[in-house]
Chains A and B, each alone.
Chain A
Amino acid sequence: GAGVSQSPSNKVTEKGKDVELRCDPISGHTALYWYRQSLGQGLEFLIYFQGNSAPDKSGLPSDRFSAERTGGSVSTLTIQRTQQEDSAVYLCASSIPGRMNTEAFFGQGTRLTVV
């Protein structure tokens, strides 16, 4: 596809369950970001991947959160033992490799609701 694709678009899960959120970046983009946005709030940085470098995990809020990027393309954000405060829209973005000052393109997000 032409843009960043995220799935599922909506996810409702019970408290305590694990969830996986998927991001397909734009083809050829090796930089990938995860953000989350709670209701009525701004975007909160979670994690950043660039090529084969170690990811910048400085934004992950707890050890229940982890992310992988397989083969330098698709990324999965995993939340273990979900809590109600994890309810938010999780946004993925990608950008062109090798250029620091370039724009990032965002997907439409996954809306996670923990009940």
Chain B
Amino acid sequence: DAKTTQPPSMDCAEGRAANLPCNHSTISGNEYVYWYRQIHSQGPQYIIHGLKNNETNEMASLIITEDRKSSTLILPHATLRDTAVYYCIPKTGNQFYFGTGTSLTVIP
């Protein structure tokens, strides 16, 4: 499975877009990129996933570079409830390998 690099922490002003980067330079051709988040003391929550094309759902947008070596999760209008640890997870096979993620703090 591909290794990932995410910044350990980020701040974002409430109402602004939060852009969370992830490097996954060793990703293989059949590995999807998943994003999860974990709000304090809760189980991880699925956000979005994609393979090659950009994806959008009601929670977020996922931008994957053409070479698939990196991706960016975009929360278009961050709220205080979006404060959480965000995990970028390239996945193939059975397991989701959670790294250390990015701790996002949304500031009022």
Contacts and interface: CB of A to CB of B under 8 A. Distances in A.
Q: Do most interface residues of chain A lie in helix, strand or loop, or is the interface mixed?
A: strand
B93 interface: yes
Interface residues of B, number: 21
A65 interface: no
Nearest to A102: B49
Contact of A45 (B43, B49, B87, B95): B95
A84 to B, nearest CB: 21
Contact of A42 (B42, B49, B93, B99): B99
Q: Do most interface residues of chain B lie in helix, strand or loop, or is the interface mixed?
A: loop
Interface residues of A, number: 22
A43 B95 contact: no
Given A91-B43, A91-B44, A109-B43, A104 B96 contact: yes
A25 interface: no
A81 B104 CA distance: 38
Given A45-B97, A56-B94, A100-B93, A108 B42 contact: yes
B41 to A, nearest CB: 8
B94 A42 contact: no
B43 A108 contact: yes
Given A33-B95, A100-B93, 5 more contacts: A42-B87, A45-B96, A59-B95, A101-B32, A104-B96
Interface of A: 4, 31, 33, 35, 42-43, 45, 48, 50, 56, 59, 91, 93, 100-101, 103-109
Interface of B: 32, 34, 42-46, 49, 51, 87, 91-101
